[in-house]
Structure 1
Amino acid sequence: MTNLEENQQPEFEQELEEVETSLRLLKERYAQVQQDQQQKAQWQQEIKNLKDNKNQTPEIKAELKRIQKELEVLEINLESQLFSWKSLNRPFWQAVRFGGLGVIIGWLLKSSVG
């Protein structure tokens, strides 16, 4: 094994660990989203059943409000699980890097022309 290959081995192992960690987190997030979607469907069915009940007692109305609040929280949770600031980390820095490079090239071209 050459010196270059020896230096690349720890980098590769680190990259592999990062990929494995990302995959594990993605699987966990996916499982949570599936569970939340099932819960959402159950609560929507329960809301429908409560609304279809002709005897709207105060207890039923209170239960309906409670379930609707829980459903709103669940929907916010589902939306936030699909979007994370960490997922924007790499694209953000690539935009900064290449956007900055574009500005520098533009300045160089402008100064050489004018």
Structure 2
Amino acid sequence: MKPPKQSESSGENQEPDFEQELQDIEAALFTVKERYNQVQSDRQKQGELQQRRRELQQHKPQSPQIKAELKQIKQQLEILEINLESQLFSWGKPFWQAVRFGGIGVIIGWILKSYAG
């Protein structure tokens, strides 16, 4: 049995769908690039804050100013850690879900193959 022939009008409908999907992919890629740049920036800031904290801790913090600065650094580091975790684990787009679960499927396949083979 032959599949039904598509009319020319359905071919015309596919082109806008493809363009929309391409725009969605471009937007997703832009979002990933922004997220990557933000993660890099946050990691750099985190390193700088950790270095400053080590410097302050070496001087045996006695003054209230040093203690206050250490407390502020600790709070900023906690905020950065939360931002980094949320940025790294936000898998909202279906494309990234497919990549993640596809990778898990490959790993499970390897494990099953090693047991069977």
Equivalent in the alignment of 1:80: 86
Equivalent in the alignment of 1:46: 52
State, as a whole percentage, how many aligned pairs show the same letter.
Answer: 52
TM-score, length of structure 2 as denominator length? 0.70
Q: Any idea what the Cα deviations from partners look like across 1:51-88, whole Å, max 9, x if unmatched?
A: 01145311101100110111001100110111226247
What's the CA shift for 1:17? 0.4
Residues 55/72 of structure 1: CA separation in 2 closer, same or farther (3 Å cut): closer
SS of 1:86's partner is coil
Note the residue ranges of structure 1 that are not aligned, 5 or more in a row: 92-114
Give the number of equivalent residue pairs.
92
Instruction: Tell me the distance in 1 between the aligned counterparts of 2:72 and 2:61.
Output: 18
Equivalent in the alignment of 2:19: 13
Aligned: 1:68 with 2:74 = yes
Of 15, 24, 28, the residue aligned with 1:22 is 28
Give the partner amino acid of 1:27: K
Which sits farther off after the overlay, 53-62 or 82-91? 82-91
Note the residue ranges of structure 2 that are not aligned, 5 or more in a row: 1-7, 98-117
Instruction: Tell me the distance in 1 between the aligned counterparts of 2:61 and 2:16.
Output: 68
Residues 5/88 of structure 1: CA separation in 2 closer, same or farther (3 Å cut): closer
